Structure 1
Amino acid sequence: VDIWSAQCSECFKWRVIPEKGDYEEMRCNLVEHPFACNRLPEGSCDVPPDIEINNERVWMIDKPGIPTPPRGFERNVFLRKGCARCDCNYTTPCGKNLRANADVAAFLKTNPEEYGHLKGEDFSFSVPKILLE
């Protein structure tokens, strides 16, 4: 993923979200707080869109409500060869990759002192929907 973006719920224009963390926070709360252009600094529905959906790149649409990754963890989405599917994993603060809920459960169980406050629900392996032409 090289560009994070969101569609305004009022004017339906696409806006670039500069930081991955800001995008993840917005996606987590999208149901309760739909994205609107005015949430961005100097944002307005009156200006042209930042980006348009086209065939120059593969477009993927995330599900709303995916939890923001726990502090120190990174949620990664990978497009598979052929661009027909994608995968999701989490990188832990110590660099270990977690590819499924079972990996998360095992990691939390073996590291209760550091991560005992986390639950499986803090992680989501839901992958974005790939938009086809």
Structure 2
Amino acid sequence: MTTGSTPGSPPSQGSQRKRGSTKDSVALYAVQCYKCYKWRTVPKEEFETLRENFTKDPWFCSRRPDCSCEDDADIEYDSSRIWVLDTPNIPKPPPETERLVIMGGDYTRMDTYYVMPNGKRARCAGDVDKFLEANPAYKSRISASDFDFAPPEVVEETVVSHNFLPLQGCQGQETGEGREAHKIGESREASML
């Protein structure tokens, strides 16, 4: 992650994320209840499972132990963080890989990468094919069709000048549009990682 910058200004060049970083821009994941529309935080692994089957199996507060629609939301949808929408039904990352979404420096887009078993990033199906050619032992367990590089869409109205601070965040699912939302960034001081 980068170090702090003054509110309203982009991070300085010295504070930019290093190119080889395997850190996600997303630090907190959330899902929206299909019944009450309240946001509940979930671990990344659970989020990836929910996202994989989102349209067939919507999420309800009652799935979480000791939680109901009567409880306050864990987080609120507002412009205190940058929200991005992800496509539902993206498959879980194959074993020994990790899906990363990285916020672009101009806060208008997200990039999707997969960290492969050798630690290198794949940015497209062609990179996965190259990995499999160089590592044929994985061909029986991984194919390029197991990966979805569709980038999440940044929700423009949540990108306001005070959000141009170091990124931390949250990711969740929005049932109203049948899409998932990632919630990104307060300030660097908010250690949500």
TM over 0.5: yes
User: Which structure: larger Rg?
Assistant: 2
Alpha-carbon distance between aligned partners in 2 of 1:117 and 1:74, rounded to the nearest angstrom: 15
Using the TM superposition, give the Cα deviation of residue 114 of structure 1 relative to its aligned residue in structure 2, in angstroms.
2.7
Percent identity at matched positions? 37
Q: Give the SS at the match of 1:90.
A: strand
In the other structure, the counterpart of 1:113 is: 137
Structure 1, unaligned stretches of length 5 or more?
none
- Residue among 105, 123, 133 paired with 1:99: 123
Aligned residue pairs total 132
Q: For residue 90 of structure 1, what is the aligned residue in structure 2?
A: 114
Q: Structure 1: which 4+ aligned runs deviate by more than 2 Å?
A: 114-117
Within a 5 Å distance, the mapping from 1:59-74 to structure 2 comes to 59-74=83-98
1:3 equivalent among 28, 36, 39: 28
Any conservation in 1 of the 2:30–2:40 contact (CA below 8 Å)?
yes
Residue 14 of structure 1 pairs with residue 55 of structure 2: no
What residue number does 1:81 align with? 105
- Give the TM-score normalised by structure 1: 0.93
- 1:28 matched residue in structure 2: 52
**Amino acid in the other structure paired with 1:96:** K
Specify the SS of the correspondent of 1:61: strand
Q: Deviations over 1:82-117 (max 9, x none)?
A: 210110100012211101111011112222213423
Bigger relative contact order (CA 8 A; separation at least 6): 2
